[in-house]
Amino acid sequence: MKKIVLILAMTLLVTSSFADEKKARISDMKHMADGMGLIMNGLLYNYLDNVDEGVKYIKEGVDSIKSKGDLKSYLPADTAYAYKFGEKSLRRIVEYANEVDEAMKAKDYDAALESSALLMRQCSSCHSRVRGW
Amino acid sequence: MQRRDFLRVMGAGAAVVAVNPSTIGQTLYADNGQLYKAYEKVQLVKTDGSPVKAGDLEVEKTYVFNYPHAATPCFLINLADKADSEVSLKSEDGEEYVWSGAIGKNQSVVAYTAICPHQLTHANKVDSFISYVPKNKTTMAYKEGGVIVCGSHLSAYDPRRGAANLSGPAPQPLASIVLEHAADDTIWAVAVLGADKFHDYFKSFRSEFKEQWGGKRKAKKLVSISVPTVALTEYTKEVIQY
């Protein structure tokens, strides 16, 4: 009986741990997606403050992912092996977010639009690898 | 031959070459000529300046040189087997072209741009997610080794057949570097064959060019006279293969 209880407890623990990781991942991704939405909205309707806010969201999302430590355990189990690709994607996302930021400061809105497209592509590049289409 | 006849023959020859540059190699051609672009002929040299010789290249070891721009990396590989010749390939736009084959005593030395045409993954000074997987190694991207693999989205290319697509999302082959093999076994890069994606590449990695090359302008500078050729493991800090 004790063994059964122990196995059940362990199973619950592992399941809840996976569920927590997934929840954290969804929360980070949602924050970054909101950021991307703000950037797009800002560039589309000339709400320049939205662009700045969007860049902030994106970088907060990246920081949040990094704060969780090892990306290998952060990614879904079946694509955890691609953690180096994920790390590189995060670096590129920050680069492109910074480029959007710099272009906005320089009031070069065309360049901001170009960098935001690259930012979007980098996000989907990682998603297509980690989640598949 | 009279001077006038001589000039006439030379003029006709120049016109033929101008209309179809691949006439020089007799086997390289493309529908509209855009898929073959000649650049300055440069010699592949070692870091000490001595020439790279085809016979000295280790089999299945990946070497890198930058051509035709200072920051456009290219793989140089001495394959385990003789490469095919006269391979018909197609660009993303549907234009057909022919890859003539490898150089060297065994017809096994090939060169391709190390820039994946899918999402421009490339070898750089920090890391390389694109690399050649030797025949005795395995890869997630293809059923067997002996292929060039882009680890970003697992596209595989056949280096024996002009870097034709074998699997994955890449829309076209890697662009190939046209090599000339001199009688003294030295190697020269003379042109790029295939759709090279350089334009998109230079638009996409501004921060990297600034960090690694001192800016986009310097990264875009065309190489001249000779280019250092080193092992991929020396060119980059980390090679990531899947």
Residue range B2-17: mean pLDDT, rounded:
54
CB contact under 8 A, B129 and A81: no
For residues B92-122, one letter each, b for 16 or more C-beta atoms within 10 angstroms of the residue's C-beta and e for the rest, the string is eeebebbbbbbbbebbbbbbbbbbbbbbbbb
CB of A111 less than 8 A from some CB of B = no
| Owning domain of residue B103 | 27-239
**Who among A84, A99, A118 is closest to B240 (CB)?**
A84
pLDDT in tens, B186-214: 999 999 999 999 999 999 999 999 999 99
Residue B151 C-alpha, separation from nearest chain A C-alpha, in angstroms = 8
Query: Is residue A87 a part of any domain in this protein?
Result: yes
The pLDDT assigned to B26 comes to 36
**Who among B203, B206, B242 is closest to A82 (CB)?**
B242
CB of B240 less than 8 A from some CB of A = yes
Nearest in space to B99 (alpha carbons), one of B34, B156, B29, B149: B29
Nearest in space to B134 (alpha carbons), one of B230, B240, B62: B62
CB contact under 8 A, B240 and A85: yes
| Owning domain of residue A86 | 24-130
The pLDDT assigned to A23 comes to 86
CB contact under 8 A, A88 and B242: no
CB contact under 8 A, A98 and B240: no
- In terms of C-beta density within 10 A (0-12 exposed, 13-18 middle, 19 or more buried), how is residue B167 classed? middle
Interface test with B, best of A116, A121, A125 (most B CBs within 10 A): A125
Query: Is residue A15 a part of any domain in this protein?
Result: no
Query: Is residue B2 a part of any domain in this protein?
Result: no
Query: Is residue A108 a part of any domain in this protein?
Result: yes
Query: Is residue B97 a part of any domain in this protein?
Result: yes
Query: Is residue A19 a part of any domain in this protein?
Result: no
Give A85's contacts in chain B (Cβ within 8 Å).
129, 151-152, 240
Helix (H, G, I), strand (E, B) or coil at B229: coil
CA closest to B150 among chain A residues: A85
CATH number (domain holding residue B176): 2.102.10.10
Query: Is residue B8 a part of any domain in this protein?
Result: no
Residue B27 has pLDDT above 50, yes or no: no
pLDDT in tens, A28-79: 999 999 999 999 999 999 999 999 999 999 999 999 999 998 899 999 999 9
CB of B199 less than 8 A from some CB of A = no
Query: Is residue A4 a part of any domain in this protein?
Result: no
pLDDT averaged over every residue in chain A? 90
The tally of domains found in chain A comes to 1
CB contact under 8 A, A81 and B151: no
Residue range B97-109: mean pLDDT, rounded:
97
pTM attached to this predicted model: 0.86
Residue B44 has pLDDT above 60, yes or no: yes
Residue B31 has pLDDT above 60, yes or no: no
Query: Is residue B18 a part of any domain in this protein?
Result: no
pLDDT averaged over every residue in chain B? 91
Query: Is residue A39 a part of any domain in this protein?
Result: yes
CB contact under 8 A, B207 and A99: yes
Give B151's contacts in chain A (Cβ within 8 Å).
85
CB of A79 less than 8 A from some CB of B = no
Residue A8 confidence class, pLDDT cut points 50, 70, 90: low
Residue A9 confidence class, pLDDT cut points 50, 70, 90: low
Query: Is residue B178 a part of any domain in this protein?
Result: yes
Residue A80 has pLDDT above 90, yes or no: yes
Give A125's contacts in chain B (Cβ within 8 Å).
119, 152-153
Query: Is residue A30 a part of any domain in this protein?
Result: yes
The pLDDT assigned to B4 comes to 62
**Who among B127, B152, B207 is closest to A125 (CB)?**
B152
pLDDT in tens, B139-175: 999 999 999 999 999 999 999 999 999 999 999 999 9
Residue B25 has pLDDT above 60, yes or no: no
pLDDT in tens, B45-91: 999 999 999 999 999 999 999 999 999 999 999 999 999 999 999 99
Give the contacts of A41 (CB within 8 A, at least 6 positions apart). A47, A50, A54
Residue A133 confidence class, pLDDT cut points 50, 70, 90: confident
Interface test with A, best of B116, B119, B209 (most A CBs within 10 A): B119
Query: Is residue B185 a part of any domain in this protein?
Result: yes
Residue range A117-121: mean pLDDT, rounded:
97
The tally of domains found in chain B comes to 1
Residue A5 C-alpha, separation from nearest chain B C-alpha, in angstroms = 40
Tell me, letter by letter, the H, E, C secondary structure of B70-135: CCCEEEEEECCCCCCCCEEEECCCCCEEEECCCECCCCCEEEEECECCCCCCECCCCEECEEEECC
CB of A81 less than 8 A from some CB of B = yes
CATH number (domain holding residue A58): 1.20.120
